[in-house]
């Protein structure tokens, strides 16, 4: 019996050490907290949760400022040139002077756009994220379709599999960032 208790105790200590190692060493490497000053600044400026911004950056680019998608979205928050130029104009910036691979510019424009989507879609985060991924015009059409939205505000169905998956991934990453870093 004493031998069993010793093995059980050893196993418990090993699990605690493994969990501590994972929490303190592995998770911060897998889900880093990079560009913290910029994320804090623009999340506060555009009334966004920092954990949401980190979730978007993680899912969009894995923190690679030079990332380019198959849809030609660029930078940390994967902003397309067209959206970047339009957002820059709305923000009072010179569209021809923006560099979407610059982390500060990309996070600033990405946060502004997320804020704009949140306002456009009545503060429904899932809908705003769907708009970030699939385009606000597509989401507006989905909200107008009774098969996809009973109330015209929330999406009951997201018809693009990629967008449905994207929304779930960002929301999961947001929750993990919130838990891991107490954001």
Annotated catalytic residues are: 60
Question: What are the CA-CA distances from residue 6 to residues 15, 20, 106 (Å)?
Answer: 14, 21, 55
* Residue 73 backbone dihedrals phi, psi, to 5 degrees: -80, 145
Query: Cα angle vertex 175, ends 169, 179, to 5°?
Result: 145
Report the alpha-carbon distance of residue 102 to residue 118 in Å, rounded: 24
**Three-state SS string across 128-161, please?**
HHHHHHHCHHHHHHHHHCCCCCCCCCCCCCCCCH
């Amino acid at each position: 019996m004493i031998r069993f208790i010793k093995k059980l105790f050893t196993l418990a200590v090993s699990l605690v050490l493994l969990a501590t190692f994972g929490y303190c060493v592995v998770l911060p490497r897998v889900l880093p907290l990079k560009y913290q000053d910029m994320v804090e600044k623009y999340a506060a400026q555009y009334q966004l949760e920092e954990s949401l911004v980190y979730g978007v950056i993680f899912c969009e680019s894995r923190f690679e400022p030079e990332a380019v998608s198959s849809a030609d979205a660029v930078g940390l928050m994967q902003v397309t040139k067209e959206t970047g130029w339009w957002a820059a104009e709305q923000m009072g910036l010179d569209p021809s002077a923006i560099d979407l691979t610059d982390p500060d510019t990309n996070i600033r424009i990405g946060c502004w756009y997320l804020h704009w989507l949140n306002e456009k879609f009545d503060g429904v985060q899932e809908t705003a994220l769907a708009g970030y991924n699939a385009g606000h015009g597509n989401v507006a059409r989905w909200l107008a379709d009774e098969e996809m939205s009973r109330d015209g505000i929330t999406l009951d169905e997201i018809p693009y599999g990629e967008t449905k998956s994207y929304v779930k991934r960002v929301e999961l990453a947001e929750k993990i960032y919130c838990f891991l870093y107490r954001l």
